[in-house]
């Protein structure tokens, strides 16, 4: 075969590039919720956007959500002040095998790649959960918040913030229900009386070897929704469903990042998927984030919505009890026992 004419190669290189017929989205959607605060707003378009985001990404950001920026600044400030305390002071509210709430510095974490410290507290201040993961054990135990003495306004600010985010969670859950052609209040009763929702402060210090560590390893969230507030440093990455690539989530001022959890995946019978995500660390800057995990009461049974099932779309999961699922997921949380981490695929039919 003879040599190719260089002029032909140049002509090929200068041809206009054709756009793909199905371009890949590079950013998770940003959805404006301002219509919810308007007395004349039409939510049909909003519900459509929410449904599309849940189906294509499992993630989206919301703006004009109704939570004042000043309130986020308040809780961010008290969180930072808590993490700045001496380690001896923080360990006064350290979680243990009896109480899984409070401060945790990763001391017992076998996965040395996780690079963070956390503080967890319940939305309801105290709640009931199964005493063990054993199916025949009906005993319940009480989970109770541990509140630090400093900063002195810590508890008050946390509870004020939680009430505001919980309202947003119900609004979003209602929009998701509508996007599945269900009544807006379809899921609300699952979160009444002893809901197990919790809020977490995440502090990621600067990491001297970011190529060897993760702030949080790849995982999916087990509950219904996660509502994440984060600073402007960034680091959250979402595994894009279309091609499996890890896509960084660009911080948007005064926005919340929302992702649907395993529970919505089961309720929707796989129409909406809980998507893997992770957090990468920064070698120069600390990062601070506050996720709200929307969990139902321990007695709730989770299964695909009967209204969505038919001969062409049979149930893909058998029902499971949230409290036992929660207990099973957390039984190895402190000592990291050598047990398989339960996932919803264990209930797949």
Instruction: Domains for the chain: give ranges and CATH numbers.
Output: 25-347 (2.60.120.330)
Q: What is the mean pLDDT of residues 188-215?
A: 87
Output the pLDDT for position 206: 87
C-alpha 311/C-alpha 155 separation (Å) is 51
Output the pLDDT for position 339: 54
DSSP state of 332: T
Which has the minimum average pLDDT: 17-21, 152-156, 242-246?
A: 17-21
C-alpha 265/C-alpha 224 separation (Å) is 9
Q: What is the mean pLDDT of residues 54-65?
A: 97
Output the pLDDT for position 275: 96
* pLDDT greater at residue 245 or residue 8: 245
In the numeric block, the tokens 């529970």 are attached to: 263
**Of residues 73, 279, 61, the one with CA closest to residue 157:** 73
Among residues of the chain, what percentage have pLDDT more than 70?
A: 87
* pLDDT greater at residue 40 or residue 181: 181
Output the pLDDT for position 237: 94
In the numeric block, the tokens 């070897």 are attached to: 209
Output the pLDDT for position 327: 86
Q: Are 59 and 28 in contact (CB under 8 A)?
A: yes
* Residue 175 binned pLDDT confidence (cut-offs 50, 70, 90): very high
Output the pLDDT for position 208: 80
* Residue 112 binned pLDDT confidence (cut-offs 50, 70, 90): very low
Residue 12 has pLDDT above 80, yes or no: no
Residue 73 has pLDDT above 90, yes or no: yes
Among residues of the chain, what percentage have pLDDT more than 90?
A: 65
User: In the beta sheet, which residues pair with residue 219?
Assistant: 277
* Residue 338 binned pLDDT confidence (cut-offs 50, 70, 90): low
C-alpha 164/C-alpha 143 separation (Å) is 22
Output the pLDDT for position 121: 97
> pLDDT, tens digit, for every residue of 303-321?
999 999 999 999 999 999 9
Q: What is the mean pLDDT of residues 185-212?
A: 90
């Amino acid at each position: 075969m003879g040599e190719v004419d260089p002029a032909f190669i140049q002509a090929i290189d200068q041809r206009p590039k054709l756009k793909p017929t199905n371009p890949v989205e590079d950013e998770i959607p940003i959805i404006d919720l301002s219509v919810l605060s308007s007395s004349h707003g039409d939510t049909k378009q909003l519900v459509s956007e929410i449904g599309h985001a849940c189906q294509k990404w499992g993630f989206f950001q919301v703006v004009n959500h109704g939570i004042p920026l000043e309130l986020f600044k308040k809780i961010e400030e008290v969180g930072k002040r808590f993490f700045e305390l001496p380690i001896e002071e923080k360990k006064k509210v350290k979680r243990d095998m009896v109480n899984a709430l409070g401060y945790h510095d990763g001391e017992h974490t076998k996965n040395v790649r996780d690079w963070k410290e956390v503080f967890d507290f319940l939305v309801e201040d105290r709640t009931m959960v199964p005493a063990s993961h054993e199916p025949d054990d009906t005993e319940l135990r009480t989970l109770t918040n541990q509140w630090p003495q400093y900063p002195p306004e810590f508890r008050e600010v946390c509870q004020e913030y939680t009430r505001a985010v919980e309202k947003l969670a119900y609004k979003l859950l209602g929009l998701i229900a509508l996007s599945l052609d269900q009544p807006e209040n379809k899921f609300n009763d699952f979160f009444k009386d002893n809901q197990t929702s919790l809020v977490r402060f995440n502090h990621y210090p600067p990491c001297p070897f970011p190529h060897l560590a993760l702030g949080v390893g790849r995982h999916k969230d087990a509950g219904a929704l996660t509502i994440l507030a984060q600073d402007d440093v960034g680091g959250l990455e979402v595994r894009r469903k279309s091609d499996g690539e890890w896509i960084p989530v660009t911080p948007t001022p005064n926005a919340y990042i929302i992702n649907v959890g395993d529970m919505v995946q089961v309720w929707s019978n796989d129409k909406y998927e809980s998507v893997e995500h992770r957090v990468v660390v920064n070698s120069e800057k600390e990062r601070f984030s506050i996720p709200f995990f929307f969990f139902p009461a321990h007695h709730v049974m989770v299964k695909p919505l009967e209204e969505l099932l038919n001969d062409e779309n049979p149930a893909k999961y058998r029902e499971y009890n949230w409290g036992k699922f929660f207990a099973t997921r957390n039984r190895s949380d402190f000592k990291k026992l050598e047990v398989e981490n339960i996932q919803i695929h264990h209930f797949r039919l």
